[in-house]
Structure 1
Amino acid sequence: MDIMNQTYQIPFGQRILAKFPWLADAIFFVSFELIVLTNFIQGTMLYNHQISSVVVGKVQIIAGILAVLKVLLFDDKSISGWLLTIFVGVLLWQSATLALGYDIFYYFLLLIAAKNVNFKYIAASFFATTTVALLLVFSLAKFGIIPNLSFTKANGTFALGMNYPTDLAARFFYLLAAYALFKNFALSLPEKISFLAVIVLTYTVTHTRVDLLVMALLLLAIIFYKQVAFILEKVTNKGITVLLGALVAVLVGASYLYRDHSTLFTLANKIFSNRLSLGNRAFKEYNVTLLGQPIPQQGFGGSSTEKLADYFYIDSSYLRILMMFGAVTFLIFIGLLVYLSQKFMQQRLYAFEIVLILVAISSLIDQHLYDVSFNIILLAALANLDYAKDSHYY
Structure 2
Amino acid sequence: MKDKCLQIIDWYDQRKIYFTSIACFLYVFLTILSWCLMFKLSNSIFNDICVDIISIIRKGVFIIFFLTIFNGLFKKTLDWKLTTIFAVISGLSYWFSKNPEVIKMFFSITALSCLPFKWTLNDYYRAQKWILLLVITLASFGIIENALYDKERMRFGLGFDSSSTSAVILFHIMIIYGCLKRKPWNKTNLYLFILSSVLIFIATNSRFIFGMSMVYLIISYFLLKKIDFKLISTSWMRRFIVALPFLLTILSFVIFISYNSNSTLWQSLDRIFSERFSLTHDAIFKYGLTLFGRPIVWSGNNYFNLPVAYNYVDNSYIKYILEFGLFWFVFYLLLFGFGLYRIIKTKNASYFLSLIVLLILGCIESFLFTNVFNPFMIYGYIQLNSWFCNKEWKRSF
TM-score norm. by structure 1 comes to: 0.83
Taking the TM superposition and a 5 Å limit, the aligned residue runs for 1:6-17 are 15=7
Taking the TM superposition and a 5 Å limit, the aligned residue runs for 1:1-394 are 15=7, 23-46=15-38, 48-49=40-41, 59-74=57-72, 81-152=79-150, 156-184=154-182, 186-223=184-221, 224-230=223-229, 233=232, 236-242=237-243, 244-303=245-304, 310-382=309-381
Change (3 A) 1:222 1:148: same
> How far is 1:321 from its partner?
1.1
**Paired residues of 2:242 and 2:340 also in contact (CA < 8 A):** yes
- Tell me the distance in 1 between the aligned counterparts of 2:156 and 2:139: 11
Structure 2 residue identity aligned to 1:288 = L
- Tell me the distance in 1 between the aligned counterparts of 2:377 and 2:360: 15
- Tell me the distance in 2 between the aligned counterparts of 1:210 and 1:333: 24
- Tell me the distance in 2 between the aligned counterparts of 1:102 and 1:309: 23
- Tell me the distance in 2 between the aligned counterparts of 1:131 and 1:71: 27
> How far is 1:119 from its partner?
2.1
Bigger mean CA offset, 57-66 vs 40-49 = 57-66
Change (3 A) 1:20 1:333: closer
How much identity, in percent, do the aligned residues show? Answer: 22
**Paired residues of 2:289 and 2:322 also in contact (CA < 8 A):** yes
Change (3 A) 1:62 1:330: same
Bigger mean CA offset, 21-30 vs 229-238 = 229-238
Bigger mean CA offset, 198-207 vs 341-350 = 198-207
> In structure 1, what is the equivalent of residue 386 of structure 2?
none
Bigger mean CA offset, 284-293 vs 76-85 = 76-85
Measured against aligned partners, the alpha-carbon deviations of 1:89-147 in whole angstroms (never above 9, x if no partner) come to: 12112213432323333223222222342222222222222222122212332333332
> How far is 1:171 from its partner?
1.0
> In structure 1, what is the equivalent of residue 387 of structure 2?
none
Change (3 A) 1:170 1:26: same
Bigger mean CA offset, 319-328 vs 180-189 = 180-189
> How far is 1:221 from its partner?
2.5
> How far is 1:19 from its partner?
5.5
> In structure 2, what is the equivalent of residue 392 of structure 1?
none
Q: Tell me the number of residue pairs that the alignment of Structure 1 and Structure 2 aligns.
A: 373
> How far is 1:21 from its partner?
6.5
- Tell me the distance in 2 between the aligned counterparts of 1:115 and 1:68: 13
Structure 2 residue identity aligned to 1:105 = I
> How far is 1:77 from its partner?
6.7
SS of residue matched to 1:372:
coil
> In structure 2, what is the equivalent of residue 390 of structure 1?
none
Bigger mean CA offset, 94-103 vs 227-236 = 227-236
- Tell me the distance in 1 between the aligned counterparts of 2:122 and 2:135: 20
> How far is 1:176 from its partner?
0.8
> How far is 1:36 from its partner?
1.1
SS of residue matched to 1:329:
helix
SS of residue matched to 2:160:
coil
> Superposition RMSD on alpha carbons, in Å?
3.1
Structure 2 residue identity aligned to 1:37 = F
**Paired residues of 1:269 and 1:277 also in contact (CA < 8 A):** yes
SS of residue matched to 1:165:
coil
Change (3 A) 1:122 1:185: farther
Structure 1 residue identity aligned to 2:85 = F
Structure 2 residue identity aligned to 1:294 = P
Change (3 A) 1:17 1:320: same
Structure 2 residue identity aligned to 1:216 = M
- Tell me the distance in 2 between the aligned counterparts of 1:335 and 1:218: 24
> How far is 1:12 from its partner?
7.3
> How far is 1:52 from its partner?
9.0
TM-score norm. by structure 2 comes to: 0.82
Structure 1 residue identity aligned to 2:29 = L
> How far is 1:324 from its partner?
0.6
Change (3 A) 1:310 1:351: same
Change (3 A) 1:369 1:60: farther
> In structure 2, what is the equivalent of residue 4 of structure 1?
none
